[in-house]
Amino acid sequence: MREAKVAVVILTHDAPAYVQETIETLRRVTAKGFACEVIVLDNASGPTTRDLLNQMKVRGLIDKLVFSERNLLYASGNNYASTFCSADCSHILLLNSDVRIVSPAWLKKLLAAKEAGGFCAASFGLSSDPPKADGYCFLIDRDLFLRHKLDERYEWWFALSRLQANLLRESRRILVFDHHERFIHHHGGKSGSDWKGARGMDTDIQEVRSWFADVEGKVIVRDAGRPGSKALRSLRSLGRKLRRIVRRGSRWPLMWLLMGPLGKALIYFRPPRPKRGMSALLLPGDDPGSVGDDAMLQAVLQHLRGRGVTGFGVVKFSPERKDLSNYGPDVREEPGWKGIGGLREALQRYHLFYVFGADIMDGHYSAAKTCAHIFYAHAARLLGRRSFVLGFSFNRNPAKRVLDFFRRVHPGVKLFVRDPQSLSRFQAAAGRSAKLVADTAFLLKPSGPTSRTLGPVSWVDRRRANGGLVIGVNLNPLLLRGFDAGERERFLASFRSLLETLARDGDHLLLAPHDYRRAVGDLDLMKALFDDLPADVRANARLVDERLSAAESKELCGSLDAVISGRMHLCVAALGRAVPAFGLSYQDKFRGLMELFFDNYVPVVDVAECGDSATLRDAVRDFLARRDDLRAQIQSRLPAVMAMAMEGVPK
């Protein structure tokens, strides 16, 4: 008998995070030396998934990659993809693209059990009524599949049911493993809804039952072994009871309970550590589009790579989150988990856990979200991982619920606060110690010249040659939050007046958005501001409509003489290039940032004062008059600030 070689056939349709998890765990976890050929047929995915698949092909994770211009669905797609199997393959495995391989022995167990029992096919996953193999991990003899193939009159669910019924009528038997979580996990339902209009979906269940009427007893169901110990199953049972208690409320009471003595039981359920390398799981603070969040994430990745971390997972609870393919081949999307069990499963792949603190840790935006992030840091420490909350700010009036969570957080969770004022407030309010650091975004390296920075930087150079200062300007909708219509108009009129004054004094204005999110992004507001400027002022100004990355924004800041910004991380980018920055403050974090560099003078004005045009104009003129002295102070303090930022990303 020839040595077994399995052709693993995977159909993909969007859902790049799950596709990546399927293929990477297939290659990484499956026992070495086991002969298999990975064939991927992409069913008309979007560009993100297609680019990911091309990258995985280059990395050697995919042996054969085929793109279809239309969604062939399950039956036609698998039939077509199976034609690409090499002649030396003895078996075909139909594998969904939304699974995670858990055990190195998964394929060995499936194949060995099939061969030992003389079965024609074997499957992880039981589909009932009637009992039969599910379709997300189905192993079959290659020659048998190519002879029968899937019935394309049933494009989705019932195609495999029809195939099984035909095989069983030939006096063959099929093996089905139930309770297979310690071998393979199936997420399910992650590839869109194109199947809803598929042929055969209206097939009556009575007809399906009739296919299996005379083959009873030929589908053999075995228990693959429930994952974990009796104690772990007891924990799951307790979790279900607690969820029922709080079902009508929010999640935070359950998390609060698990941060007390009850949660200490988690130490008995620590997941195994990865055996190779050093890897880190990162939990960002906000949705995509914020260049500040991008700066922190990129900076942490750069810094940890320099310290020997070789693999990263970035948690994405929302499907709308930013595509991570540009962050490097060592970065994977980690689908957001549900419950403590999901966190435990995710941590099996990582040694370190980092929560990005930023400006969400005082509950200013969402107390529920803050509590959840504190709880994840706490639970990760109990589950045996080094756990950190990276540099965060803390306002004067934190949410009471947040303080309670901080008081209960595990003492082994390392907390880092990013400015002196926040540290004082945090220690006084929460009664917990923390380490003073600087914002992690200071560690971000400028991009160097790129195609997107070329236009703005060239404009800056030309304007500087004409004399006058070149000033970066940022305005964002968060500055106007809480204003009524009259206050909003006074603020915008005051700011327009400031820009007109600066331009007519001979300075040049570069309007620079620093956030591209739909609800709170800068671009629409700044475009409206630019269009409202008088023609002579617009002639001395430019709107940066190139969508710059965080590293490109930092590169651009280095060409400016000064920055006036309502985005704190644009101030960080400027200060990191030794460029004086003036903050329009809508939170306490601005003053805390500036105190890292300046003692007696803090270049910040509260947004509530900006509605008076004279106050805003005088404050900015005073700032610009001090520009040379401020630059000298920044250059003097910057090395120490950079050292503090490095201390804020431990390993």
> 3-state SS string over 90-109?
CEEEEECCCEEECCCCHHHH
* Pairing, β 126-127 against β 132-133: antiparallel
Q: What is the residue whose two structure tokens read 């929460």?
A: 430
Q: Are 74 and 43 in contact (CB under 8 A)?
A: no
Indicate the average pLDDT of the chain: 87
Picking from 3-17, 191-205, 301-315, 347-361, which range would have the lowest pLDDT averaged per residue?
191-205
Q: Are 183 and 109 in contact (CB under 8 A)?
A: yes
Residue 286 has pLDDT above 80, yes or no: no
Of residues 427 and 179, more confidence is placed in 427
Q: What is the residue whose two structure tokens read 């495999």?
A: 160
Question: Any idea what the Cα angle at residue 587 is, between residues 585 and 590, rounded to 5°?
Answer: 55
Percent helix, percent strand, percent coil in the chain, to nearest 5: 45, 15, 40
pLDDT tens for each residue of 337-389: 767 788 888 999 999 999 999 888 887 778 888 988 999 999 999 999 999 99
Residue 1 has pLDDT above 80, yes or no: no
Of residues 335 and 614, more confidence is placed in 614
Q: What is the pLDDT of residue 588?
A: 77
Residue 91 has pLDDT above 70, yes or no: yes
Q: For the chain, how long is the longest CA-to-CA vector?
A: 92
Distance from C-alpha of 167 to C-alpha of 641, rounded to nearest angstrom: 70
Tell me the CA distances in angstroms from 538 to 199, 201, 560, one per residue in order: 59, 60, 18
Residue 252 three-state SS: helix
132 Rama sector, left if φ>0, alpha if ψ -120 to 50, beta otherwise:
beta
CA-closest candidate to residue 555, choices 456, 458, 448: 448
pLDDT band per the 50, 70, 90 thresholds, residue 249: very low
42: β partners: 12, 67
pLDDT tens for each residue of 175-227: 999 888 888 988 887 777 666 678 888 888 888 888 888 777 678 888 776 44
Average pLDDT over residues 537-560: 95
Q: What is the pLDDT of residue 231?
A: 53
Distance from C-alpha of 624 to C-alpha of 630, rounded to nearest angstrom: 9
pLDDT band per the 50, 70, 90 thresholds, residue 235: low
Structure tokens at 72: 């062939």
Q: What is the pLDDT of residue 135?
A: 85
Q: What is the pLDDT of residue 222?
A: 85
- Percent above pLDDT 70 for the chain: 91
DSSP state letter for 358 = B
Q: What is the pLDDT of residue 241?
A: 54
126: β partners: 133
* Pairing, β 581-585 against β 562-565: parallel
pLDDT tens for each residue of 561-605: 999 999 999 999 999 999 999 999 887 788 889 999 998 899 999
Residue 622 has pLDDT above 90, yes or no: yes
* Domains of the chain, residue spans: 6-223, 252-437, 452-647
Residue 30 has pLDDT above 90, yes or no: no
Structure tokens at 586: 């809508």
Residue 167 has pLDDT above 60, yes or no: yes
Cis peptide before 456 (omega within 30 of 0): no
At the top level of CATH, the class of 252-437 is alpha beta
Distance from C-alpha of 236 to C-alpha of 247, rounded to nearest angstrom: 16
Distance from C-alpha of 321 to C-alpha of 342, rounded to nearest angstrom: 19
pLDDT band per the 50, 70, 90 thresholds, residue 105: confident
Picking from 240-254, 566-580, 608-622, which range would have the lowest pLDDT averaged per residue?
240-254
Residue type, 282: L
pLDDT band per the 50, 70, 90 thresholds, residue 538: very high
Q: Please tell us whether the domain made up of 452-647 is placed in CATH 3.40.50.2000.
A: yes
Distance from C-alpha of 524 to C-alpha of 526, rounded to nearest angstrom: 6
DSSP state letter for 562 = E
Q: What is the pLDDT of residue 247?
A: 46
Q: What is the pLDDT of residue 85?
A: 94
Tell me the CA distances in angstroms from 639 to 6, 75, 289, 442, 595, one per residue in order: 56, 62, 29, 11, 15
Residue 251 has pLDDT above 90, yes or no: no
Question: What is the number of alpha carbons within 13 Å of residue 272 lying toward its C-beta?
Answer: 7
Which stretches of 96-173 are assigned E, i.e. beta strand?
Answer: 99-101, 121-124, 126-127, 132-133, 137-141
Average pLDDT over residues 291-299: 91
Q: What is the pLDDT of residue 97?
A: 93
Q: What is the pLDDT of residue 511?
A: 97
Q: What is the pTM of this model?
A: 0.64
Picking from 4-13, 253-262, 317-326, 539-548, which range would have the lowest pLDDT averaged per residue?
317-326
Residue 248 has pLDDT above 50, yes or no: no
Residue 125 has pLDDT above 70, yes or no: yes
Tell me the CA distances in angstroms from 643 to 229, 548, 552, 576, 628, one per residue in order: 46, 27, 23, 12, 24
Tell me the CA distances in angstroms from 383 to 2, 93, 276, 386, one per residue in order: 45, 35, 19, 9
Q: What is the pLDDT of residue 242?
A: 52
Q: Phi first, then psi: what are they for 541, rounded to 5°?
A: -140, 160
CA-closest candidate to residue 146, choices 66, 84, 218, 96: 84
Q: What is the pLDDT of residue 232?
A: 54
pLDDT tens for each residue of 40-49: 999 999 888 9
DSSP state letter for 4 = P
Distance from C-alpha of 458 to C-alpha of 285, rounded to nearest angstrom: 34
Q: Which CATH number fits domain 6-223: 3.50.30.30, 3.40.50.2300, 3.90.550.10, 1.10.510.10?
A: 3.90.550.10
Of residues 236 and 644, more confidence is placed in 644
Picking from 148-162, 432-446, 499-513, which range would have the lowest pLDDT averaged per residue?
148-162
Are 252-437 and 452-647 equal in CATH topology?
A: yes
Q: What is the pLDDT of residue 608?
A: 87
Residue 281 three-state SS: strand
Average pLDDT over residues 243-255: 53
- Long-range CB contacts (< 8 A, 24+ apart) of 198-207? 198/73, 198/155, 198/156, 199/152, 199/153, 199/154, 199/155, 200/153, 200/154, 200/155, 200/156, 200/157, 200/158, 200/159, 201/155, 201/156, 201/157, 203/154, 203/158, 205/129
Q: What is the pLDDT of residue 147?
A: 92
* Pairing, β 311-316 against β 279-283: parallel
Q: What is the pLDDT of residue 75?
A: 92
